[in-house]
C-alpha cells in the first residue's frame, strides 16, 4: 500500500527542474526577509534552548511535521523525545525511526506511561515501522520516560523548554513526582480552544485537552517559569498548499522531508476522522508546528494572558475566576508569514538542530 500511494504522489508532483527552481526562489525570498534559520555556529547566534518534546506522534501526522521543524530550528536543541498517551512504545518506535532516518540518533527516546485504551487502536503510521526494531535504535531508549525527564531537567544547568503537543498523562506524573521540575522549565503547548474551534467553527473540546483533562490540569497547575499556549484559534488554521507544499514534496533528495512525505502517504488512506484525499496537493492542518515555533519566536502572533478553567469534557473556558493562567497566542499577526516561515525552515537542510 505504501509503495502504491507514494507512487501516485510521485506521478502527481515529480521532482522536476521546475520544482527545484521554485525551491530556490522561495529560499532566496525568505532569506532576504530574514526568515531562514541561521546555522548555530555563526557568531552572534544565541545559545540554543534545550528542549524536551512531549508527543503523541503516530496518530495525527502533524507531530511528524513538528518534529521535523524542531530539528530544522537552530534556536532549539532537542535533548529528549518523551512519547505520551496510549501505546507509548509504538509512538517511541515512530519517533526513533524518524530520528535515525534523518541522522539524529543522538537524541534519546523516553517512553512514557502506557495508557490502556487511550488511542491504542489509532496507529496511523504503523506500516512505516513494520520492520523496525526499537531495541536497535542507535541512541538511548529509556523505558521509564518519566524518570528520564526528571533526570534531564535536574541535571540541566539552564532552563529547559518543554514543548507538549498531545495529551500529557506522563508529564502530569512527572510534575507530581518532582515538584521542583516545573520551576526549572518553560511550558509551551498545543492545547485548547477559546474563541474558535476546528475549521474556524465555534469553541470546541480540543483533542489534546479532551484526551486527559485531569492530567492537563495537573500540568497547568505546576509552577512553570512561563506557560505559553497555541489553541485552535491559531494552530487550527495552519496548513501548506500551492508552491509551499510543492516545494516540500519536491525535496526528494532531503532525507528528513522525504521521511515526512512517506509518513504522510501512509497516514492519508488510514486516518478515520477525516477524508484525506488531498494529500497530493496540500498538507493536513499542522497544529503542532505552531507550538514548536512559539518555543523560539512570538513575532507572528498576538498573545494575551488568559485566565481559564479546564472542564471534564475537554473545553478551555475563559473566566475571571479560572484556576489557570497562561499566555495564549489567540490571533495571528500574519498567518501567511508563518506558513512561509514554516516552509523555509523545513527546506533549509543546513539548519540542523544543535546537538
Residue predicted with more confidence, 339 or 8: 339
Model pLDDT for residues 291-300, shown as the tens digit of each residue? 999 999 999 9
Regarding the domain delimited by 2-347, which CATH topology (the fold level of the hierarchy) does it fall under?
Inosine-uridine Nucleoside N-ribohydrolase; Chain A (3.90.245)
Asked if the model's pLDDT at residue 44 lies above 90, the reply is: no
Q: What's the chain's Rg over C-alpha atoms?
A: 19
Which residue in 74, 156, 153, 69 sits closest to 110, CA to CA? Answer: 153
Residue 120 pLDDT: 56
Average pLDDT of every residue of the chain: 89
Q: Provide the phi-psi class of 29: left if phi over 0, else alpha when psi is between -120 and 50, else beta.
A: alpha
Strands 185-190 and 301-310 turn out to be unpaired
Strands 160-164 and 49-55 turn out to be parallel
Asked if the model's pLDDT at residue 238 lies above 80, the reply is: yes
How does residue 115 score in pLDDT terms, banded at 50, 70 and 90?
Answer: confident
| Distance of alpha carbon 140 from alpha carbon 159, whole angstroms | 22
How does residue 36 score in pLDDT terms, banded at 50, 70 and 90?
Answer: very low
Residue 57 pLDDT: 98
Residues 286-307 have a mean pLDDT of 98
Asked if the model's pLDDT at residue 355 lies above 90, the reply is: no
Stated pTM of the model:
0.89
Percent of the chain residues topping a pLDDT of 90 = 82
Lowest average pLDDT, out of 20-24, 60-64, 150-154, 284-288, goes to 20-24
Residues 246-275 have a mean pLDDT of 96
| Contact present, 132 and 93 (Cβ < 8 Å) | yes
Asked if the model's pLDDT at residue 25 lies above 80, the reply is: no
Helix (H, G, I), strand (E, B) or coil at 58: coil
Give the strands of the sheet with 160-164, arranged side by side: 141-142, 109-111, 76-83, 49-55, 160-164, 185-190, 226-230, 324-332, 301-310, 316-318
Amino acid at each position: 500500500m505504501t509503495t502504491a500511494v507514494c507512487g501516485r504522489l510521485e506521478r502527481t508532483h515529480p521532482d522536476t527542474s521546475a520544482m527545484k527552481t521554485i525551491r530556490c526562489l522561495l529560499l532566496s525570498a525568505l532569506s532576504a526577509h530574514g526568515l531562514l534559520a541561521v546555522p548555530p555556529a555563526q557568531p552572534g547566534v544565541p545559545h540554543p534552548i534545550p528542549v524536551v518534546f512531549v508527543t503523541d506522534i503516530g496518530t495525527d501526522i502533524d507531530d511528524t511535521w513538528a518534529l521535523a521543524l524542531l530539528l530544522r530550528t537552530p534556536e532549539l536543541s532537542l535533548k529528549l523525545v518523551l512519547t505520551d498517551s496510549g501505546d507509548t512504545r509504538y509512538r517511541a518506535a515512530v519517533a526513533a525511526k524518524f530520528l535515525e532516518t534523518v541522522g539524529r540518533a543522538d537524541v534519546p527516546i523516553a517512553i512514557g506511561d502506557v495508557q490502556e485504551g487511550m488511542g491504542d487502536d489509532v496507529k496511523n503510521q504503523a506500516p512505516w515501522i513494520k520492520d523496525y526494531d526499537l531495541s536497535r535504535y542507535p541512541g538511548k531508549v529509556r523505558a521509564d520516560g518519566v524518570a528520564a525527564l526528571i533526570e534531564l531537567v535536574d541535571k540541566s544547568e539552564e532552563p529547559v523548554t518543554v514543548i507538549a503537543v498531545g495529551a500529557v498523562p506522563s508529564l502530569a506524573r512527572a510534575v507530581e513526582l518532582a515538584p521542583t521540575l516545573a520551576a526549572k522549565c518553560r511550558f509551551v503547548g498545543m492545547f485548547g480552544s477559546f474563541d474558535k474551534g476546528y475549521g474556524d467553527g465555534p469553541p470546541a473540546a480540543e483533542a489534546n485537552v479532551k484526551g486527559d483533562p485531569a492530567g492537563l490540569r495537573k500540568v497547568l497547575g505546576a509552577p512553570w517559569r512561563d506557560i505559553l499556549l497555541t489553541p485552535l484559534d491559531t494552530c487550527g488554521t495552519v496548513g501548506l498548499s500551492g508552491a509551499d507544499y510543492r516545494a516540500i514534496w519536491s525535496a526528494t533528495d532531503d532525507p528528513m522531508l522525504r521521511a515526512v512525505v512517506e509518513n504522510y502517504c501512509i497516514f492519508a488512506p488510514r486516518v478515520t476522522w477525516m477524508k484525506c484525499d488531498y494529500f497530493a496537493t496540500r498538507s493536513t492542518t499542522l497544529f503542532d508546528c505552531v507550538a514548536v515555533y512559539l518555543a523560539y519566536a512570538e513575532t507572528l502572533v498576538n498573545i494575551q494572558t488568559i485566565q481559564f478553567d479546564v472542564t471534564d469534557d475537554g473545553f478551555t473556558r475563559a473566566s475571571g475566576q479560572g484556576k489557570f493562567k497562561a499566555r495564549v497566542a489567540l490571533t495571528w499577526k500574519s498567518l501567511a508569514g508563518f506558513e512561509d516561515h514554516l516552509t523555509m525552515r523545513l527546506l533549509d537542510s543546513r539548519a540542523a538542530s544543535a546537538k
